[in-house]
């Protein structure tokens, strides 16, 4: 697999994620778009690593760290979504005027 194909896949993931994050009003879809963008960046990093030096696995360790950060970010994000829903009964971004309690 060439670097061009990997980067095209990564840019497609980033583009779809950007569209999903900017066009959707649901909190869950917004977070899913952000995750797609992070996955696209991760794919690009791994593509550059595999086609570049390919030596010591620093980029693989970076990919594992990024995946762990993504998991933590999703857990915190969903906890915030649940907290906002319980407080305001709002499940879309348009129904929130302000974040003050």
Q: What is the CA radius of gyration of the chain?
A: 17
The pair of structure tokens assigned to 54 is: 């390919």
Distance of alpha carbon 77 from alpha carbon 4, whole angstroms: 33
For the chain, 101 residues long, give each residue's pLDDT as a single digit of tens: 788 999 999 999 999 999 998 988 777 888 889 889 989 998 898 888 888 766 666 667 878 888 888 889 888 888 888 887 787 777 666 566 665 65
What are the sequence ranges of the domains in the chain? 3-95
Helix %, strand %, coil % of the chain (to 5): 80, 0, 20
Architecture of domain 3-95: Orthogonal Bundle (1.10)
């Amino acid at each position: 697999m060439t670097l061009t194909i990997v980067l095209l896949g990564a840019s497609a993931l980033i583009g779809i994620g950007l569209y999903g994050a900017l066009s959707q009003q649901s909190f869950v879809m917004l977070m899913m778009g952000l995750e797609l963008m992070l996955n696209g960046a991760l794919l690009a990093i791994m593509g550059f690593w595999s086609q570049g030096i390919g030596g010591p696995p620093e980029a693989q360790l970076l990919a594992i760290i990024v995946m762990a950060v993504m998991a933590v970010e999703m857990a915190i994000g969903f906890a915030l979504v649940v907290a906002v829903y319980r407080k305001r009964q709002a499940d879309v971004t348009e129904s929130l005027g302000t974040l003050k309690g």
